[in-house]
Structure 1
Amino acid sequence: MKSPSKRSLIVLFIIISIICILFFAAIGRFNAPLANSIVVNVLAPFQSVTSAVSSKCNDFRNYVYDVFYVYDQNRELKAQNDDLKLKVARTAELEAENANLRQLLNYKKANLQFDLLPANVIGRDSATWSSHIIINRGTDDGVQKNMTVITPDGLVGNIHEAYASYSEVELITDPRSAVGSIVQRADSRVAGIVKGSADSNSAINMTNIPQNANIVEGDTIITSGFGGIYPKGIPIGSVAAIKNDSGGLLQYATLYPCVDFQKLENVAVIINHREVAQPAATPAPTAPAQANAQTPAQPTTGDTK
């Protein structure tokens, strides 16, 4: 059982509560300043506590609302940011691809002797990572074995194997490749063979150069057209250094390739090539006839009898 003191407190609390209910219900109906003053003074502590608690509850509710609102906003902004990053990446990729295609188109316009088929690099042979690539063009597109593969920068290699929808390209960096080459400089025209180096995955050398050959560092090396695979005049690289071979009878030149084989993305296959018609020679102007040149006398005829 509850003690008498506790019961008294409960009864007192109930009475005060009833008085408060009656007071607030009677506001506006009765005007009793003295009673109002007494009740206000009695209930002031309770009202202050209630107001404080209510204020704290409102603050806490607003805080929770702000937290959830900020969380939702942050999640939405993060999603928008990720979407924008993806769009920027796609735009940059499209711009890079368009730049490569424009470069290839300009090369095609400047080299009308070639019928070019654009292709994308879709992989590399895992067994020969540095010397073979896979492109997305095959026999269904007219690609055949031994066709030349280039970029606007220069020679890439040739079709090693052609399948229906893709082909394997042997790069000129493969030590087993052999490209007939020649020095582009008019007063040199030294011929040789360009091969990949077994010592480096990206180096190429021009071999079979005589000791007294007219070749110097910086010379541009192009395809010679010998051998029947590679058309003549495609840039291969520039001479980096000239060294003696192991036998000492010949020398070879290490080359800087025109093509960056580690960054191959877009290439072109030469489906057909033809000789470029040379402009007809303009005949030399003839010397004008002298104004005072004498014309031969014509014989006169007389009447016969």
Structure 2
Amino acid sequence: MAETPPLDPAPAGEALLSMNEVTLRFGGVTALDAVDFHIDRGEILGLIGPNGAGKTTAFNVMTGIYQPTQGTVTFDGEVTSGMKRYRIAKRGIARTFQNIRLFKAMTAFENVMVGADAQHSTGPIAALLGLPRYRREEAAGREIAHELLDFVGVRGRADELAGNLSYGDQRRLEIARAMATRPKLLCLDEPAAGFNPSEKQALMELIRSIRDRGLTVLLIEHDMRLVMGAVDRLVVLEFGRKIADGTPAGVQNDPAVIAAYLGVDEDEVEEEVDDAS
């Protein structure tokens, strides 16, 4: 079976998505406060922060679940804030969720076909009439679904109901379904939740392989070992504000980041660092 071709590599350092001074308020609560960062084409960006920092909220703004109170989101050169969710997805953003959202009464193969069908240009009438263009798209979708199931490691369970798969296989299946939409940006929200150490190592390798196929990856993850081993750059949020943006090594040693995770004042961290040096 022919392998699904990778996406064309994009120029390094060119922004694919930008959050431009995005603020989101729910009544009197500010969930995001003038958040400003970008995701370069072809990179793996980690979005981290303590619980309640605004990470998933930022995901939801990018994908159109929430509309920003102020600021804009730009994706692939086009302002997408204000667009319907399905239009944003069509433009090339796919995501997974903290809580797995598979069609559990459908097989693993059928779940991935749902993702592939999302990019079809033909509609229900063409399907009912069995028009040639629909048959070509359906055949291509089946080939993509089989190849992606193999890619994420669940090809042998393609005909099993998604609800009967192990937790780890369901996580990988959700990634395959998102990839079947042929996105430019794949957003992974806590993909390692519930994984054991060997599964996390395999996931780290899978994320790198996804990037090697030409996708840009945005990763939210609490496991710092996985994050540090997988990402090219980190953005850190705390209480809805960006407090750091840089390489994993640089962010790891940032006093503001250490203070956010340890729950101490930043000045105390800087004093400890000065005393140790």
TM-score category (smaller protein): under 0.3
Q: By percentage of residues, which structure has more helix? A: 2
> What TM-score does the superposition give when structure 1 sets the normalisation length?
0.19
Greater relative contact order (Cα < 8 A, sep 6+): 2
Of structures 1 and 2, the larger Rg is shown by 1
Q: By percentage of residues, which structure has more strand? A: 1
> What TM-score does the superposition give when structure 2 sets the normalisation length?
0.21
